[in-house]
């Protein structure tokens, strides 16, 4: 019985992961970036920085403990603003991305870089 539960957990985790990849892919494409970039580690963070209107060298800040949390919040707030959403939505992207990125991806929000 434990084996069935484990298999179901793995199948569920893969399904959620694929759904989130599709959501990020759509957000990247809405912002004029290559969707496949979501699949490449580090490069996907670089693309998020571009979508947020922040310089690419900020990727170094993601390597500094504790600073990376602040930078992630700033970047997600900027992404939300560039999609016409408010700072509260940006906090949602940072803290509950598995909910808010699909909303951004499949909703009517359009990318309009303001920074």
**Residue-number span of the structural domain to which 9 is assigned:** 2-106
Within a domain: 112? no
Report pLDDT for 110.
93
Q: Residue 115 domain-assigned?
A: no
Is residue 98, in this structure, part of any structural domain at all?
yes
Question: Torsions phi, psi of 86, nearest 5?
Answer: -95, 180
Give the pLDDT mean for 72-87: 97
pTM for this model (two decimals):
0.90
| Residues ≥6 apart with Cβ < 8 Å to 37 | 28, 43, 44, 47
Instruction: Kindly tell me if the per-residue pLDDT of 115 is higher than 70.
Output: no
Average pLDDT, whole number, for the chain?
Answer: 95
Complete DSSP assignment for 14-48:
HHHHHHHHHHHHHHHHHTTS-GGGGGSTTHHHHHH
Tell me how far apart the alpha carbons of residues 50 and 86 are, in angstroms, rounded to a whole number: 19
**Which of 72, 64, 71, 114 has its CA nearest to residue 97?**
72
Would residue 113 count as lying in a domain? no
pLDDT tier for residue 52 given thresholds of 50, 70 and 90: very high
Asked whether residue 11 is assigned to any structural domain, the reply reads yes
pLDDT score recorded for residue 2: 76
CB 86 within 8 A of CB 25: no
Domain for residue 91, yes or no? Answer: yes
Give me the pLDDT at residue 1, please.
Answer: 55
Residue 92 corresponds to which tokens in the numbers above?
Answer: 């949602």
Q: For residue 59, how many other CB atoms are within 10 A of its CB? A: 16
Residue 20 resides in a domain: yes
Mean pLDDT check: name the lowest of 22-31, 73-82, 106-115: 106-115
**How confident is residue 35, by pLDDT bands cut at 50, 70 and 90?**
very high
If one counts the domains in the chain, the total is 1
């Amino acid at each position: 019985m434990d084996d069935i539960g484990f298999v179901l957990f793995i199948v569920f985790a893969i399904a959620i992961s694929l759904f989130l990849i599709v959501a990020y892919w759509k957000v990247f494409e809405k912002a004029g970036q290559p969707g496949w970039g979501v699949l490449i580690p580090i490069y996907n963070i670089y693309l998020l920085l571009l979508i947020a209107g922040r310089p690419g060298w900020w990727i170094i800040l993601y390597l500094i403990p504790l600073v990376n949390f602040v930078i992630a919040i700033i970047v997600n707030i900027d992404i939300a603003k560039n999609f016409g959403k408010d700072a509260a939505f940006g906090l949602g992207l940072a803290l509950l991305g598995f909910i808010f990125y699909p909303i951004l991806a499949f909703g009517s929000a359009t990318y309009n870089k303001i920074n």
